[in-house]
Amino acid sequence: MINYSIVMRSVNANLLEINQAKSRINQAKKDGKEPDKKDTDLVKTEKQNAFAISQYTDVMTIEKFAKHITSHGSVYSRADISAILYMAVDCMREMLLEGKKIRLGDLGDFSLLLSSKGAETADKFTAQNITNVKVQWEPGQQFKNLLDDAEFNLVASRSAQAAVIKAIKEGKTNVDLNVPINPDGAGDGDGADDGTTGGGSGTTGTEGSGTTGDQGTSGGNTDGEDGSGDNVNF
């Protein structure tokens, strides 16, 4: 069973301009000034759609995962499985740093994704321009059809749950769910819960990412859905 909550996210193509207008409005209010009418009119054009974000119920450590594997009738002990998993992690890191692509059957492929600062010309580009090395996971077949077998359960977001608990402790009978409360320093599930990031929209940064080989690149959706491609970057 997959728990999920609902979050409202902006879907405007000009979301950056809208957020900048919001900042100017807030600054004007702090300064005791009247916000610019152009900014208030622009903010009024913001459109939000409802999207789902997953809410995990537990964090499976290697030890927990090894114990779960043994519960399925494995002939190996939990200690043996844990040791193999730890060795697999070390060996995967070693092979990736050697420039290899790791193909683990139904689990999928693991490869590297580089981020770098742009140079004026190819001659001026050096390894010093590379700013980050990330791991890219391309799910195998067993992970590409999860929707077919998934069952869903709607729950309150973690920030909403935290707001309710906070209200109970303070003896309040009403809860303002519009006030952002982060219960543990992390976001809700795999997305933001404050409605500041929009599904299918984004901004262009100063760093570019790319990968070479037989794996193509994936981009954001353009049909208003909130999701991602088959590739996952870590």
pLDDT (0 to 100) of residue 181:
54
CA angle, 40 then 24 then 41, to 5°: 10
Q: Tens of pLDDT along the chain (234 residues)?
A: 999 999 899 999 999 999 999 999 999 999 999 999 999 999 999 999 999 999 989 999 999 999 999 999 999 999 999 999 999 999 999 999 999 999 999 999 999 999 999 999 999 999 999 999 999 999 999 998 899 999 999 998 888 888 888 888 888 888 776 665 555 444 444 443 333 333 333 333 344 444 443 333 333 343 445 444 567 677
Provide the strand spans (E) within the chain. 2-10, 48-55, 102-103, 108-117, 130-139, 152-154, 207-210, 232-233
pLDDT (0 to 100) of residue 52:
95
pLDDT (0 to 100) of residue 195:
36
pLDDT (0 to 100) of residue 54:
92
Could you give the CA distance from residue 115 to residue 234 in angstroms, rounded to a whole number? Answer: 12
Q: Which residue has the tokens 């303070």?
A: 170
Q: Where are the domains of the chain?
A: 58-100
pTM, to two decimals = 0.63
pLDDT (0 to 100) of residue 178:
67
Distances (CA, A) of 47 to 7, 17, 43, 177, 212: 13, 13, 9, 19, 37
pLDDT (0 to 100) of residue 159:
82
